[in-house]
């Protein structure tokens, strides 16, 4: 037996013997059937668990795999608050995942029914003439958004601070306009870089039970990729702060527009859409609610308000396919419509969340 390499954790042979003895006392036929089923298990840990289930033995504490003594997870104390913001942005060590793995960023959805109170048939800007009018555009179109992100650098400059890159693409699709072969009326492309700094728990405590979870510093470019007279774009740097209170989350952002040297397709953009954003999230049981407000502090009739609501299609799969309803009112739903006021209502599905 000198050459035998055994990986029996302490106490496991005794527990196996006890489970087998219980089987023999229970009766020959039951013991034979149970033993045959348990012998078919592929490894010792699964075989032992089978004996426990079959003969009433107390389930074992986590038994470490050979060479992996840390397999047992830390117990979660009942009532311990779970920070969804921390899980999303990996603010705590326990929430960390691998770098260069693609995850969702903003909601990913398809709204095949998306109604607008005022379709923009002739987009315009101060630097471009009014574009030709398209009378075939329907007030009901489809809206879809794909938004992804990935963590690229960990512990950058500060402990726990990570650099992320993200990409968002949002399209308005005249799927019901058969006269023009169902064209994409508008598509916005937005790459960005986001530097996320977690706030230590002892420094983030705020009055009334609120917690400051993180700070953000970002840079974003947004353009619609079209030629004149429909070309629209802008660059911005922003700072943000994330706060939480139970199932409520608030993200505050302030934008600084970076002016282009050679050409500006939409110099009055921020006069209509504002320079800040307040996004409020509420996880109400199985439903999620998001309210986004982009104000213009100099003109109360500018800016926008957007409400998003989701609910699982299948009750037993809350992280799977979800119903999605979106309402928007104001300016700037897309770059092409930045100076066009409208109210929109859409319904459809989220494509994926991970």
- The structural domains of the chain, with segments of one domain joined by +, span 12-55, 84-350
What pLDDT, on the 0 to 100 scale, is given for residue 42? 60
* CA pair distance 239, 244, nearest whole angstrom: 17
Rg for the chain, CA atoms, rounded? 28
For residue 69, the tally of other CB atoms under 10 A from its CB is 9
* CA pair distance 23, 29, nearest whole angstrom: 10
Q: Give the pLDDT band of residue 59 (cuts 50, 70, 90).
A: very low
Active-site residue (options: 221, 231, 298, 340): 221
* CA pair distance 36, 29, nearest whole angstrom: 11
* CA pair distance 334, 301, nearest whole angstrom: 18
On the question of pLDDT at 186 being above 90, the answer is yes
Active-site residue (options: 131, 223, 292, 329): 223
Q: What are phi and psi of 69, to 5 degrees?
A: -70, -5
> pLDDT tens-digit profile of 208-250?
999 999 999 999 999 999 888 899 999 999 999 999 999 999 9
- Look up residue 200 and give its two tokens: 């230590």
Range 277-305 average pLDDT: 94
> pLDDT tens-digit profile of 102-151?
999 999 999 999 999 999 998 999 988 787 788 889 999 999 999 999 99
* CA pair distance 161, 163, nearest whole angstrom: 7
221 among known catalytic residues = yes
Is the CB of residue 214 less than 8 Å from the CB of residue 91?
Answer: yes
What pLDDT, on the 0 to 100 scale, is given for residue 271? 95
- For domain 84-350, the CATH class is mainly beta
Range 71-99 average pLDDT: 71
223 among known catalytic residues = yes
Ramachandran region of residue 157, left (φ > 0), alpha (ψ -120 to 50) or beta?
A: left
In 3D space, the residue among 179, 174, 106, 175 whose CA is nearest the CA of residue 146 turns out to be: 106
């Amino acid at each position: 037996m000198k050459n035998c390499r055994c990986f029996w954790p302490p106490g496991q042979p005794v527990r196996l013997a006890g489970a087998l003895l219980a089987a023999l006392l229970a009766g020959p036929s039951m013991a034979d059937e149970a033993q045959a089923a348990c012998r078919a298990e592929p490894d010792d840990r699964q075989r032992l668990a089978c004996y426990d289930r079959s003969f009433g033995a107390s389930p074992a504490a986590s038994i470490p795999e050979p060479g992996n003594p840390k397999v047992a997870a830390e117990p979660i104390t009942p009532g311990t608050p779970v920070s969804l913001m921390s899980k999303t942005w990996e603010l705590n060590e326990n929430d960390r995942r691998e770098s260069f793995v693609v995850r969702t960023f903003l909601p990913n959805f398809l709204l095949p029914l998306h109604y607008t109170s005022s379709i923009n048939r002739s987009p315009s800007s101060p630097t471009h003439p009014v574009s030709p009018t398209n009378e075939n555009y329907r007030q009901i179109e489809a809206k879809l958004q794909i938004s992804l992100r990935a963590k690229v650098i960990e512990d950058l400059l500060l402990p726990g601070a990570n650099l992320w890159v993200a990409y968002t693409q949002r399209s308005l699709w005249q799927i019901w306009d058969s006269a023009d072969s169902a064209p994409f009326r508008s598509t916005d492309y937005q790459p960005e870089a986001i530097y996320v700094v977690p706030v230590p728990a002892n420094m983030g405590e705020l009055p009334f039970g609120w917690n400051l979870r993180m700070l953000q510093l970002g840079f974003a470019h947004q353009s619609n990729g079209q030629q004149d007279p429909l070309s629209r774009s802008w660059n911005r740097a922003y700072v943000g702060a994330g706060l939480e209170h139970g199932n409520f989350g608030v993200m505050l952002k302030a934008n600084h527009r970076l002016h282009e040297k050679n050409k500006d397709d939409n110099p009055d953009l921020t006069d209509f859409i504002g320079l800040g954003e307040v996004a409020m999230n509420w996880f109400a049981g199985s439903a999620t609610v998001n309210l986004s407000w982009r104000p213009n502090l100099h003109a109360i009739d500018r800016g926008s308000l957007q409400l998003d609501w989701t609910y699982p299609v299948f009750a037993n799969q809350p992280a799977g396919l979800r119903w999605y309803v979106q309402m928007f009112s104001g300016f700037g739903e897309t770059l092409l419509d930045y100076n066009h006021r409208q109210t929109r209502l859409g319904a459809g599905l989220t494509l994926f969340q991970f």
